[in-house]
Structure 1
Amino acid sequence: MIIELHLLQSFPASNLNRDDLGQPKSVTFGGVPRGRISSQCLKRSARQLFTSYGLDDENVGTRTKRLVTAASELLVERGRDSETAQEIVAAGLHSLGFGVERNRLTQYLLFVGRDAVTLLTDFCDDNWDALAAGIEEAKKKEKKTDDAATKISKVKPEKETAAEAQRIFDASRAADIALFGRMIADNTDFNVDAASQVAHAISTHAVATEFDYYTAVDDLKRDDEQGADMIGTIDFNAACYYRYANVDLSQLANNLKGDDELVAQAAGAWLSAFVHATPSGKQTTTAARTMPETLLGTVRERGAWNLANAFLRPVTGSDIMRTSTTNLMSHFQKLREFYGTDELREVVGASISADTAPLSDSETALTLDDFRHRLLTSALS
C-alpha cells in the first residue's frame, strides 16, 4: 500500500529555506517564478519530529561524519588511551571499508542506526592490538613515500570483517533510514532504497522575493551621537505552498525486515510529522509558525499522483488558499474520473478555510485525528 499526502500551507513573510545568496529558494513553473522549499529541508524538519509522534529514540538514526570522535570518547571512558583512541577508531573504520580524512571525519555524511557508535566502539576495543599494529605498519609505509596522501583510502574488507561491518551499520531498526534511504557511493552494500518520496514544495502562485532593510542602535550610545550602528537586509517572501509526499509501506516493511509493529509506528510518525513539520530557517526573525489549512490523503495499491499540475497555471486573486484548494480538489477529481479509481482504496480530504468539493461528505474529515486514523487504518489493515 502507498499513502499519499497533499498539503496546502500558507506562510507570511519568511525565509524558510535559503539559497547560497541568502534568498528564499525559487523555481520557475508554469512560466512564472515560484517560492520553493527543498525536499531535503522538508525531510529534515519531519525527521526531527519522529520521536514526538510515536517512534522511540532507538528507532531513529543519526547522520554524522564524526563517528571517530564519538567512538573514541567511549573508548576513553572504558579506560583506553585518549591519544591513540582516535587513531584506533579511524583504523577500525578503514578496515570496515570506510574512508576517513586526516581531520578524522568520514568521507561521507553517514546515516547510521542509533547503536552504531556503541557497536563500532566494541569492534575497536576487541581488536585494539591488531588495529594498533596496522597503524604502525601504515606509518612505516608512509615514511617511504614522498607524497603523503591527504586521506586514508578505502579498502575492501575481508569476509569476516565485512560481516562485522554489516552488523555495525545495520539499519533495519532505524525507521528514518528505512523511510528516506541511505546511499554510500563507494559502499553500495550499505545502500537502502527509500520507502518515502518527497517533492520540493512550490508556491501555488507567482512569487517575488522582497527584502527587509533593517538598522540597529547601540544601547550605550550617547544621545548626541547620530546614526545606526548596524545596517543590513534580509530577503523574504510570502507564499502558499503545495507540499506532496508518499510512503510505500511494502518497501518500508522490506527495509524494516517485516517488523509489522515498527512499520505501523513509522507510518504513523511519518504522517503526523509531515503535517506538523515547519522548516526552521529564519524563524527567530519571522515566526512563520503556520499549519497546513488544506489536506488531501489517499491510500492506493500502486502508482502515485503528484498534483502540482493543479497549479501549472498560477493562482491569482486575493483569496489564494480558497482558490488553491478548489484547484487541488478539482484536479484530483478530474484525474480519478479519467484514470479510474481501481487502485484507490481510501480518499480523505479536510480544509480549515475552504470547501473540499467535489469530495463527498464521506471523504471529508472534520479533525486531524480523523484524517490520520482513516488513512492509517486503511493502509495497515
Structure 2
Amino acid sequence: MIIELHLLQSFPVSNLNRDDVGQPKTVTFGGHLRGRISSQSLKRAARLLFQDYGLTATETGVRTKRLVSSTAELLTKRRGGEEAEAAAIAQAGLRALGFGVDDKKQLTQYLLFVGSTAAELLADYCEKDWDRLASDAAARAKAAAKTTKASNGERQAEEKQAKAKPDKQTLAEAARILDASRVVDVAMFGRMIADNKDFNVDAASQVAHAISTHAVVNEYDYYTAVDDLKPHDESGADMIGTVDFNAACYYRYANLHLDKLTENLRGDTDLVGRATSAWLNAFIDAVPGGKQNSMAALNPPETLLVVVRDRGAWNLANAFLRPIQDTDLMDGSTRALLGHFERLRRFYGNDDLRGVVAASVTADLDGLAAHEVAQTRSDLVARVLAAATKD
C-alpha cells in the first residue's frame, strides 16, 4: 500500500535551498526555468519534525561523521581518564568494525545514518574489548610514526591495507550497533554504507524535488548596513552586499510504501502506525531553513491532495509542463493539479485507489466528489490514516 502526498505551497521572497554560488536552485522543465527545492533539503526538514509527531528520540536517527567524539565522551564519563585515550579506543573500535576513520580529525570517512543510541552501543563494545582495542591503537600509532615520511601514495596504500575485515562475531557486533529496525527515518529514507552492503536499507519513502508551477527568474537584494557607533559627522554604508532570492509557488510530491516500511521495522505494527502519522504530518509542515532569519518564508501548504493506493504511483508534476500564468497562481495551480489527476484517473481507472482526500485553504476543489474534500487539516490526516489501515 502507498500513501501519496501532493502539496502546493507558495513562498514569497525566499532562498530556501541554495546552490554552490548561493542562488536559489533551479531546473528547466517544460522549456522554462523553474524554482527548485531539493528532495534532500525537504527530507531533512521533515525528519527533524518526527519527534514533534509522536516518535521518541530512540526511534529516530542521526546522520553524522562524529561517532568517535560522541563515543569518547561517553567512555570518559564511564571510565574516567583522558578523553584522548578514549578517542583512540573509539577509533580502534570503529576500525575493528570495518569503518575507515580520519586519525587527525577523528571523523568517519563518510556520514553514517544511525540510530540515536549508536554511540552508546559502540561505547559498550569498546568497553568489552578495551584491552585489545588499546593494543590495536598503540600499534597503529607506532606504525604511523614510522610512515610519517612516506609518500602520499604509500600512506594511502597502507591505509587501504589496514582497513579491517571483520570476522563473523565482529560483524554481529557491527550489525547490533547499526541496527535500524526501530529507527524510523532510516527505515523511511534508506541507508547506504559503502564498507558493507549488508547494512544497507532500502528506502520506504520517495521524495521528489519540489518545482515551481510557473516560470521564475532569480533576483537579488542589494543591501547596506551602517555602524551604529559611527560618529554623526561620518556618512556612508559600512557594509554592502547582495542576497539572491526568488518567489514561487511550488509543487511538492512524496510517497510512503507501507509494506516496505513494515518490512524495515520488522513488522512492528504500532511503530509503523506512529511512523506513518509522523511522516504525513511532518511532510505537511516541512519547510527548509535556508535564509529564514532574513526572509521568514514560513508559509504552510495551501492545497493538499493525498491518495492512498494499493500499487503504482503518480507524480503529478506534468500538470505544470505548461507554466501556470494565472494572476492567482494558487488557484490556477490547484485547477491544473486536480485536472491532471482527474484525467489520469479517468484513463487508468480507480481500481488501485483506496482513498482520495483533498483540502485547500483558498482554492476551489472543482472536480472532486464531496466525500473526497476535507474541511480541516486534522480531518484530512484522520481520513488518510483510516484509509491506509482499512482492510
Q: TM-score, normalised by structure 1?
A: 0.98
Counterpart residue identity of residue 364, structure 1: V
- 1:315 corresponding residue in structure 2: 324
Counterpart residue identity of residue 334, structure 2: T
Distance 1:42 1:69 in 2: 28
Counterpart residue identity of residue 73, structure 1: E
Quote the offset at 1:78 in angstroms: 1.2
- 1:125 corresponding residue in structure 2: 127
8 Å Cα contact 1:100-1:152 kept in structure 2: no
- 2:227 corresponding residue in structure 1: 218
Quote the offset at 1:137 in angstroms: 3.0
8 Å Cα contact 1:101-1:152 kept in structure 2: no
Distance 1:339 1:328 in 2: 17
- 1:149 corresponding residue in structure 2: 155
CA deviation string 1:50-104 (max 9, x = no partner): 0001111110001110000000111110124323111111010000011101221
* 94-103 vs 263-272, greater mean Cα deviation: 94-103
Distance 1:357 1:155 in 2: 62
8 Å Cα contact 1:42-1:278 kept in structure 2: yes
- 2:381 corresponding residue in structure 1: 372
Counterpart residue identity of residue 116, structure 2: R
Structure 1 residue corresponding to 2:340, chosen from 324, 331, 334: 331
Quote the offset at 1:223 in angstroms: 1.6
Quote the offset at 1:139 in angstroms: 3.8
CA deviation string 1:319-340 (max 9, x = no partner): 1100000000000000010011
Structure 2 residue corresponding to 1:109, chosen from 92, 108, 111: 111
Give the 3-state SS of the residue equivalent to 2:306 in structure 1: strand
CA deviation string 1:158-188 (max 9, x = no partner): 1100001101110111001101111112221
- 1:16 corresponding residue in structure 2: 16
Give the 3-state SS of the residue equivalent to 1:202 in structure 2: strand
- 1:180 corresponding residue in structure 2: 189
Counterpart residue identity of residue 101, structure 2: V
| Cα RMSD, aligned residues only | 1.3
Distance 1:119 1:139 in 2: 25
Quote the offset at 1:277 in angstroms: 1.0
Structure 1 residue corresponding to 2:368, chosen from 334, 339, 359: 359
Structure 1 residue corresponding to 2:237, chosen from 228, 245, 255: 228
- 1:45 corresponding residue in structure 2: 45
CA deviation string 1:123-145 (max 9, x = no partner): 00111101111223334444554
Distance 1:152 1:11 in 2: 48
Distance 1:186 1:88 in 2: 20
Distance 2:270 2:380 in 1: 21
Structure 1 residue corresponding to 2:353, chosen from 329, 344, 347: 344
Distance 2:77 2:289 in 1: 35
8 Å Cα contact 1:94-1:152 kept in structure 2: no
Task: Give the number of aligned pairs.
Answer: 381
Distance 1:263 1:86 in 2: 37
CA deviation string 1:246-297 (max 9, x = no partner): 0000000000000000000000000000001111110111111111000000
Give the 3-state SS of the residue equivalent to 1:78 in structure 2: helix
Quote the offset at 1:226 in angstroms: 1.5
8 Å Cα contact 1:213-1:232 kept in structure 2: yes
Matches within 5 A, 1:35-114: 35-82=35-82, 83-102=84-103, 103-114=105-116
8 Å Cα contact 1:365-1:371 kept in structure 2: yes
* 222-231 vs 266-275, greater mean Cα deviation: 222-231
Quote the offset at 1:228 in angstroms: 0.4
Quote the offset at 1:378 in angstroms: 1.0
* Residue segments in structure 1 that go unaligned for 5+ positions in a row: none
Identity of matched residues, %: 61
Distance 2:256 2:298 in 1: 25
